[in-house]
Amino acid sequence: MRNTLILCGFIKRSAGFAFMVLIITSEALKAQTPPPSPLTLYSNKVTYLSSNTPTTPIGGTGTTFFVGRESTFVFGGPSINFNYRSLLQFNLADIHPSAIITSATLTLTRSGGVNPMQIIFARAATAWAESTATWNNQPAYQSTDEISITAPTTSILTVDVKSHIQKMVSGVYINNGWVLRGSTESGTTGVNRHYYSDHYSVAASRPRLDITYYIPMSVASAAITHSSGSSISDGSISPILANGPGGTYTYRWYNSAGTLLSTSASTPNLSNVSSGWYGLQVTSSVAGTDPFYYAFLIGANCSEVPIEFNPGPNYIDDAVLSGPSFSTQAYDNYGTESSESALDMVFFGSPTENRTLIRFRLWVDPLLDITESEFVLKGFDNSNSRSNVARLKRVTTNWHENIVTHSSMPGSSSDILVNIPEMTSMTETKSINIIDFWEYWKQNNTSNYGFLFELQLYNGIHAAQRYHSSDVAAGNRPKINFKVGIYSSECFSSYSAAKRKLDGGYSVVVDGKLKFTMNEEYQLSASKYLPFKIYDKNQVIMEGSDISGVMLNGSIPPLPLRFNDNRWEINISSIPGMIVGEYYTLELLNSKGEKRYLRFLYNS
């Protein structure tokens, strides 16, 4: 049975096992850090603008601000009708960009005003200053995603601004605050509201923003015990979780078939399972919070096991980042597309540059050997004939599926880059080797932010690769076909015997050494050597030796042949051109000219 604790520290090998040496304090073992308390902010910037004095800045020094239409009677002359708008902003810098906003309520206290009215809260598109803002140079505002609310005749106006605050915090919108205006700015009747500003003497009556939020839960580390055999149920997973909304947590585990396993709901630990993948769901008693999902791989000691990771939307994040040719789409989120693809790079002409993010919420033991990792994508309506070569890049910063947009695209790196050939049919299935990504992520599990999927070239033509997303049926959604192995020294206590015929079995090279044996039935001169050849998967000879001990490359000493049982050790790591993770075939020749074979995996 293989035990691997993944937290911090260094790898130490002892007889039979490889394990992590850890210093774990009581703080490190806390399942979650406490969530932040509700946050109350008071406005740091507020002023109003008047069309009656369009070039005069008010300066934001008064104790009140105004919204709406004013109608002023002038004795002996006509009434003067003009409009007020106000600018209002809060400093959100203390809220972490990854925070999930569960509520955000803006409160204004009325000091006056007449007649029923609607107030529009529109996001300011540009920065502004209290000392210089006037009606004629007021900041532009976004006419989409506005909040419209009926201003009550009572003293308090409360506005649900959760959606705006979430986007401001996460970087979808730049926080320039709001432009407040009346829904109708024409007519001869006074329709307005007066509210106390940040300069009013009573602090409780100043503009206030009450926010509750939490930092999303994550896996800080995991202790994984791999199964002692491919059909033995003695594997376990013990994750340590960080952050989250607080409250009382309920833990549920599911297997690859989606079956709920019988485990304690009060602990995140899973035990007595065989090799495969298992998904954890964590729900909080705090209202308005989302469940947390993460999956883990369990291998089998001394075995390579295939694992199909096809979990569906709970354990896959994917979102289209619609390009900036349409100003609204650049700020729109497409994280739950099921009727169309969430893997969709479409180019309709400058400057549209659609991209896609995809992340598998999967923890992989750093000591788990990955010999295969094929990313399978099902084509969807690729109805263009122009070049559409794409690529996968490693994402370097965190993102949230239901919040991220093109305007808040996370950073990415080309240090790991996989090119994806152009589509050959509308519904082509792609199988992409992404083993290099997982080799990186298994050593950096907490930095698994997934892939950025983009075209290689954005040059003004219509080109696309489109695939089904995780939100569709199992047969079409993205998946990964893994082959993984876990090997301790106990797997290699004996030498592997060469066989007359190859079968499905294989040996594994550990620490660069291949150990094997062949029984020689005839007495030979001590000067004779074992003839052998090592072939790669393309039948290219990587190294070999004849009966006189003459080597093809001279990378290893010739192997002396003795009567009866012979045991040899070949230093595979010294042979030029050998590739870790590849399978090879050793061909031997006994004294009668009979061939014997041994298939092996160059593991490390």
Q: Measuring CA to CA, which residue among 209, 182, 177 is closest to residue 193?
A: 182
In the prediction, which pLDDT does 293 show?
A: 98
pLDDT of residue 227: 93
- Please identify which residue in the block is written with the tokens 């997934």: 450
CA distance 544 to 586: 9
Please give the Cα distance from 74 to 64 (Å, whole number).
23
User: Do the beta carbons of residue 416 and residue 448 sit within 8 Å?
Assistant: no
CB atoms within 10 A of CB 481: 15
Give the pLDDT score at 77: 60
Cα separation, 321 vs 404, in Å, equals: 8
C-beta atoms surrounding 223 within 10 Å: 20
What are phi and psi for residue 165, nearest 5 degrees? Answer: -65, -40
**pTM (two decimals):** 0.75
In whole angstroms, what is the distance from residue 263 CA to residue 50 CA?
65
Q: Coil, strand, or helix at residue 365?
A: coil
Could you tell me the mean pLDDT of each successive run of 10 residues in the chain, 604 residues long? 37 30 33 62 96 92 95 70 96 94 97 95 96 96 94 93 95 95 92 96 96 96 92 95 96 97 95 97 94 97 90 92 56 49 48 84 94 91 66 95 89 95 84 96 97 83 80 90 81 76 82 82 66 95 92 88 73 92 92 89 82
Task: In whole angstroms, give the CA distance from residue 76 to residue 382.
Answer: 73
Signed CA dihedral, 555, 566, 579, 487: sign only = negative
Cα(157)–Cα(108) distance, integer angstroms:
5
Query: How many other CB atoms are there within 10 angstroms of residue 158's CB atom?
Result: 13
Question: What CA–CA distances, in Å, run from 333 to 118, 186, 352, 409?
Answer: 28, 35, 16, 11
